[in-house]
A and B are shown apart, each in its own frame.
Chain A
Amino acid sequence: MNSPAGAKIETLTKVNDFVVKFANVNGSGSASANTLFAKAIFRMGIPVSPHNIFPSNIQGLPTWYEVRISEKGYLGRREGVDLMIAMNEQTIQRDIDSVVSGGYVLYDSTKSLPEQMAREDVQFLPIPLTEICIREFEKPSQRQLFKNIIYVGALAALINIDFDVLTNLISDQFRGKEKLIPPNINALQLGHQFASEHFQCPLRLKLKSSDKTDSKILMDGNTAVGLGCVYGGATVASWYPLTPSTSVVDAFGRYCQRLRIDKQTGQQKFSVVQAEDELAAIGIAIGAGWNGARAFTATSGPGISLMQEFLGLAYFSEIPVVLFNIQRVGPSTGMPTRTQQGDLLSCAYASHGDTKHILLFPSTPKECFDFAASAFDIADQIQTPVIVMSDLELGMNEQISEPLDWQEGRAYDRGKVLNQERLEGLEHFGRYQDSDGDGIPYRTYPGTHPDKGSYFTRGSSHDANAAYTEDGDIYAEVMDRIAKKFDTALNYLPEPEIRENGAAMGLLFMGTTTSAITEAQDLLTKHGVATDTLRVKSFPFHQSVRTFIDRHEKVYVIDQNRDAQLKSLLKIELNVNESQVQSIRSYNGVLITAEHISRSVLDSQENTGE
């Protein structure tokens, strides 16, 4: 099977609108080559969205990198692969099978493909990558690494990637390690040359420079979260390593090393503590929050489970703390390297007893940055935990995003904190007294005043003065006041994004589902179904979410979990009637697709005879 299957194949003809998938072995150095590929397309001005589909493993297991290229800006996943870079023998059969009819398969032809893998309806692009590497490079490590760069070079010829863009990227990547630039460029050229000589380049599947990414950035959500924490004034980060949240604290630490070192003394204006477990991680953040520092932790599902007791303490004793939940597939260990929106309910009401927590749902890196920074304000304003609900898809994959932006002179809102001066003028301080009628009491930092403002922080029942009580009526008063605080919180939380054009149907969703929405709407329009949309950005929900639902005949609530958690939450919190909402769910560990959404809507309409 070393020669193309034949000229008879009716290959796909597409410009700036296809899916390329790389099938690799993890730990083989493919990640940087694949990133190079995606970034080159981004720099050519073409909207691109790469998705890592990787194993929970260090070396040897299959990993995929799927790149959606879409001039129209459809950045969600699309089912089916147009061009497969089949570099993993373990999965090659399956990988070839996943290619759409008329698509292409690039593979390492040093070893010939078994007959049974042949397909008449796809075009094979055999390149003897191993052979080229053995011929050109001496060190085994180079032979392995450059194999990846060579196929990127080949792709440059095959689908028309601007070669200068690639070489510039290589130069940028190895700034400071200049001697690595020539061998990498050489490897790119080797691939380019081989492809140009052996195939008719470019293919009918190809790229054309555009201007759709001009002002944009390509960044992963976790990096944006880490930066948001730097800009939002966090000084204490405590954490326990857990995929896919680890890179949040990595990014925070990295940017702090650059931006938070005192120039005169070389001392740190931050502290990153790797705790012994997630219980300690949130405990440290709560201790720091209690004492007036802005503190956060980042985790994922298993960590959320472990943090439950402490979240209840912070809720009841009213301590600001920020928590980033980069959701992965549960329950239990689940699929640690796959994405899901499965922690909505366990975060909204985390911990025993009556509790509720503020949740924020970012959908782009820009929002990861903005919500991370404002989470610290909100936590201070409301004096309660704020959980930012990202997920693996957003956190660990590079996304096209509006650039980050910080309003010069923006002040941190530290909420109701009494300093020594204000305490001096105060006759009586009651830590949990609702002086302003908004449910939010005043707090003090330890050590502020010799005689005034000290109080006893506790998770046991307390009165307005923070004194222990077992008086049920007083307990109930405190609980009612805390509930009121969450009504007040609505004034501080981002409002839902509503796009309305008088349609009868609505789509309601959050977070990474957003990436599939425009495309889903376009697909539905083709079938004559018009839709309005509401994107939830925070919890508790604003009343505008309820009125949006009321204004529509039917609202499809889209969840990336099995149990329709967003729909459940709407019913619990807004008294939404079951007949008003219909669930669309996806929970196979990869990002929901537009096809799935539109198909679900159309199926449901057929079923109800509409």
Chain B
Amino acid sequence: MTYIRKPRFQHPQLETNELGLTRRDYEGTLTTLCGGCGHDSISAAIIQAAAEMSLEPHRIAKLSGIGCSSKIPSYFLGKAHAFNAVHGRMPSVATGANLANKELYYLGISGDGDSASIGLGQFCHIVRRRINMLYIVANNGTYGLTKGQLSATADLGSKTKSGEESLYDNIDLASLAIELGASFVARSFSGDKKQLVPLIQAGLSHKGFAFIDVVSPCVTFNNTDLSTHGYKNTWENNAALSQVDFVPMRDEITTSYAEGEEKDITLHDGSVIHLHKIGNNYDPFDKEKAVMHISQYKAEGRIATGLLYINQKTSDLHDLTNTVDRPFNVLSEQELCPGNPILMEINEAFR
């Protein structure tokens, strides 16, 4: 056996959600990643997010590419279908899957090698195509499975465990996503569950392409004090532009916030994001300013996190192409095949 099943044992008083499911119903197999890997915290955050939202686990499709990041769909939502595609090509598979059935939740998990190097083209184009999904990049700035080479998101001057220094400018996937038309873009840190969980929930509820770049340290190959993707640097320089609370559509909104500092953003499905503005009165609706903030913080050696940009008024690919309401994968012969009399007419046009 090269995977580890989790024991079925569970605490008898484990809390249940609206579907009567416990947290355990949202878990997957035991992780085979290194102890302390940031990616495991992302799995845990996804489990918590989905359980709290009372999502039906089987109505989620998990898709990933290749790499440490792309292994993690094994570790959460064991009742969901998963697709571990080829390296860097998850976006195309997700596009096709989404076209076939618009009714499922699509959760894409990728890494910095998978999305910023080999799959950069596919990443750019899935953003442009506005696929309705949540796309998470577990970003550790390194190639873990091949033992610690620098990736394209490693910051200029950042050093790996072996002392290799990044000589090139990094690719910032969050800025790129904003520029290419993503309608929900956030950045978070795997160690900051309080920030990450509501962002995942909001990203799943958002209609359109939602992207979260999660700095997720690689404890084995890229966690030195000189790495900008290590725990130390990320804790010290994590600069939240906003704090987000997520209220699922079923919950009554009871808390109120003082005007000027908070904002409620109602999502397509009726859920609400409570946005607590921090610092310089950050406005996540302004595309240009969002990109500017990201690069300004970066110039100061800080990592801008939180909800960076949102536009809940966009359409997804199905809207753009005006597809039928029912999923393609349930359409029958009667609905798809024009029949022989029409074919006879077509023949006539070729005589």
Q: In the complex, what residue of chain B is closest to A287 when comparing beta carbons?
A: B96
In angstroms, Cα B317 to Cα A321, docked, is 21
- Contact call B81/A287, Cβ cutoff below 8 A: no
In angstroms, Cα B61 to Cα A483, docked, is 29
| Set of chain A residues within 8 Å of B129, measured between Cβ atoms | 273
- Contact call A268/B324, Cβ cutoff below 8 A: yes
| Given A269-B328, A404-B343, A295 and B100 contact (CB-CB distance below 8 Å) | yes
- Contact call A451/B79, Cβ cutoff below 8 A: yes
Q: Indicate if B163 sits at the interface (CB-CB under 8 A).
A: no
| Set of chain A residues within 8 Å of B73, measured between Cβ atoms | 456
| Set of chain A residues within 8 Å of B56, measured between Cβ atoms | 450
Stretch of A230-238, A496-504, A543-551 lying at the B interface: A230-238
Q: How many residues of A contact B (CB 8 A)?
A: 76
Q: Indicate if B206 sits at the interface (CB-CB under 8 A).
A: no
- Contact call B84/A460, Cβ cutoff below 8 A: yes
Per-residue interface assignment for chain A, residues 210 to 222, with 1 indicating a CB less than 8 Å from any chain B CB and 0 otherwise: 0000001111000
Partner of B101, one of A291, A407, A410: A291
**Shortest Cβ distance from A407 into chain B, in angstroms?**
7
Per-residue interface assignment for chain B, residues 91 to 114, with 1 indicating a CB less than 8 Å from any chain A CB and 0 otherwise: 111111111110110000000000
In angstroms, Cα B84 to Cα A286, docked, is 12
In angstroms, Cα B85 to Cα A408, docked, is 38
| Set of chain B residues within 8 Å of A454, measured between Cβ atoms | 58, 78-82
| Set of chain B residues within 8 Å of A455, measured between Cβ atoms | 81-82
Per-residue interface assignment for chain A, residues 270 to 301, with 1 indicating a CB less than 8 Å from any chain B CB and 0 otherwise: 11010111011111111111111101000000
- Contact call A267/B322, Cβ cutoff below 8 A: yes
A267, A444, A471 interface centre (most CB from chain B within 10 Å): A267
- Contact call B347/A404, Cβ cutoff below 8 A: yes
Q: Indicate if B321 sits at the interface (CB-CB under 8 A).
A: yes
Q: Indicate if A403 sits at the interface (CB-CB under 8 A).
A: yes
Stretch of B153-161, B295-303, B330-338 lying at the A interface: B330-338
Q: How many residues of B contact A (CB 8 A)?
A: 65
- Contact call A280/B336, Cβ cutoff below 8 A: no
Partner of B346, one of A227, A412, A450: A227
B96, B328, B346 interface centre (most CB from chain A within 10 Å): B96
| Given A273-B99, A406-B337, A468-B3, A457 and B121 contact (CB-CB distance below 8 Å) | no
Chain B, range 300-321, C-beta contacts under 8 Å to A = 317, 321
Q: Indicate if B31 sits at the interface (CB-CB under 8 A).
A: no
| Set of chain A residues within 8 Å of B338, measured between Cβ atoms | 230-231, 259-260
Chain A, range 79-113, C-beta contacts under 8 Å to B = none
Q: Indicate if B7 sits at the interface (CB-CB under 8 A).
A: no
Q: Indicate if B325 sits at the interface (CB-CB under 8 A).
A: yes
**Shortest Cβ distance from B95 into chain A, in angstroms?**
5
- Contact call B336/A269, Cβ cutoff below 8 A: yes
In angstroms, Cα B61 to Cα A391, docked, is 37
Partner of B122, one of A280, A288, A447, A451: A280
| Set of chain A residues within 8 Å of B85, measured between Cβ atoms | 283, 287, 313, 459
- Contact call B322/A268, Cβ cutoff below 8 A: yes
- Contact call B101/A445, Cβ cutoff below 8 A: yes
Q: In the complex, what residue of chain B is closest to A469 when comparing beta carbons?
A: B2
Q: Indicate if A405 sits at the interface (CB-CB under 8 A).
A: yes
Q: Indicate if B323 sits at the interface (CB-CB under 8 A).
A: yes
Q: Indicate if A183 sits at the interface (CB-CB under 8 A).
A: no
- Contact call B350/A286, Cβ cutoff below 8 A: no
| Set of chain B residues within 8 Å of A275, measured between Cβ atoms | 92, 125
| Set of chain A residues within 8 Å of B323, measured between Cβ atoms | 267-271
4 more CB-based (< 8 A) A-B contacts, given A271-B328, A293-B96, A445-B101: A269-B328, A313-B86, A410-B337, A454-B82
28 contacts between A and B (CB under 8 A): A233-B333, A236-B96, A266-B322, A268-B324, A271-B317, A276-B124, A276-B125, A279-B122, A280-B89, A280-B122, A281-B92, A282-B92, A283-B92, A287-B100, A292-B100, A293-B99, A293-B100, A309-B89, A405-B340, A408-B339, A446-B97, A454-B58, A456-B74, A456-B81, A459-B85, A467-B3, A468-B74, A469-B2
The 9 A-B pairs at the shortest CB distance, nearest first, are namely A287-B96, A283-B92, A292-B329, A293-B100, A446-B81, A291-B100, A288-B96, A287-B93, A284-B96
| A-to-B contact residues, CB < 8 Å | 42-43, 216-219, 227, 230-231, 233, 235-236, 238, 255, 259-260, 262, 265-271, 273, 275-277, 279-293, 295, 309-310, 313, 403-408, 410-412, 444-451, 454-460, 467-471
| B-to-A contact residues, CB < 8 Å | 1-3, 56-59, 61, 63, 73-74, 78-86, 89, 91-101, 103-104, 121-122, 124-125, 129, 317, 321-325, 327-333, 335-340, 342-344, 346-347, 350-351
